[in-house]
Chains A and B, each alone.
Chain A
Amino acid sequence: DAGITQSPRHKVTETGTPVTLRCHQTENHRYMYWYRQDPGHGLRLIHYSYGVKDTDKGEVSDGYSVSRSKTEDFLLTLESATSSQTSVYFCAISVGVVSYNEQFFGPGTRLTVL
């Protein structure tokens, strides 16, 4: 599993509340990613990071922000959760040489916004 953990694994929250999901890795990989997985949409990239304090948007970044103050932690924040953000969120890291770019995934966080 390349030492990736996500917390919490499950969360139920109410519309309008802030939510932060944490991804933690133990192997100092440079690239980290946040995806959401929804039926009929597969995996969609939210944000990614290519180093400490270096982040960029993915294809579905609206309503989400990220921070990476340490190599090992990549945080995903929903400033004001909406029901459309109910999803399973996966963190991933890239390992191997740059040209290979294999990604390892965390176990996922199931978020329900009521």
Chain B
Amino acid sequence: GEDVEQSLFLSVREGDSSVINCTYTDSSSTYLYWYKQEPGAGLQLLTYIFSNMDMKQDQRLTVLLNKKDKHLSLRIADTQTGDSAIYFCAERRVNRDDKIIFGKGTRLHILP
């Protein structure tokens, strides 16, 4: 397909791990990104991974990349109420004028 695909909703209990999944489309994409959008705000870059990496860890965030399946995931350990937001996956498509293409976003809801 042509779209970056994500599930629209995810509910997780506070303290558990959240895993947000994404499938992208272009095997030549060089950078893959995760952005966070809090209510009423713009998008904020959380983390990114270069396509020659399998994993990147940054404090509570772990990004896993499966290039064969074009699958990207974001794991948030010890999920907190402040993690409640919409998370966007994005890919930088080298063969599409080098634009960044965003998924539709996954709304993460934290249960008490």
Contact with A along B5-43 (1 / 0, CB 8 A): 000000000000000000000000011010000001111
Given contacts A90-B42, A100-B31, A107-B42, contact A41 B104 (CB under 8 A): yes
Which residues of the partner chain B approach A7 to less than 8 Å between Cβ atoms?
Answer: none
A84 at the binding interface (Cβ < 8 Å): no
Is A107 a contact partner of B45 (Cβ separation < 8 A)? no
Q: Which of A73-114 contact B (CB under 8 A)?
A: 90, 92, 99-108
The answer for the CA separation of A58 and B98 in the assembled complex, in Å, is 12
Picked from B40, B45, B92, B102, the residue with its CB within 8 Å of the CB of A43 is B102
Is B43 a contact partner of A105 (Cβ separation < 8 A)? yes
The answer for the CA separation of A42 and B106 in the assembled complex, in Å, is 10
Is B43 a contact partner of A42 (Cβ separation < 8 A)? no
The answer for the CA separation of A45 and B4 in the assembled complex, in Å, is 14
The answer for the CA separation of A22 and B85 in the assembled complex, in Å, is 26
Which residues of the partner chain A approach B99 to less than 8 Å between Cβ atoms?
Answer: 45, 48, 58
Which residues of the partner chain B approach A58 to less than 8 Å between Cβ atoms?
Answer: 99
Q: How far is the CB of B58 from chain A (nearest CB, A)?
A: 14
Which residues of the partner chain A approach B48 to less than 8 Å between Cβ atoms?
Answer: 100, 102
Is B98 a contact partner of A101 (Cβ separation < 8 A)? yes
The answer for the CA separation of A44 and B100 in the assembled complex, in Å, is 10
Closest to A35 in B: B102
Q: Which of A34-68 contact B (CB under 8 A)?
A: 35, 40-45, 48, 56, 58
The answer for the CA separation of A107 and B38 in the assembled complex, in Å, is 11
Q: What is the interface of chain A, defined by CB distance below 8 A to chain B? A: 1, 35, 40-45, 48, 56, 58, 90, 92, 99-108
Would you mind naming 16 contact pairs between A and B with Cβ atoms under 8 Å apart?
A40-B104, A42-B88, A42-B102, A42-B104, A43-B102, A43-B105, A44-B102, A58-B99, A92-B42, A100-B48, A101-B31, A101-B98, A102-B45, A103-B100, A107-B42, A108-B42
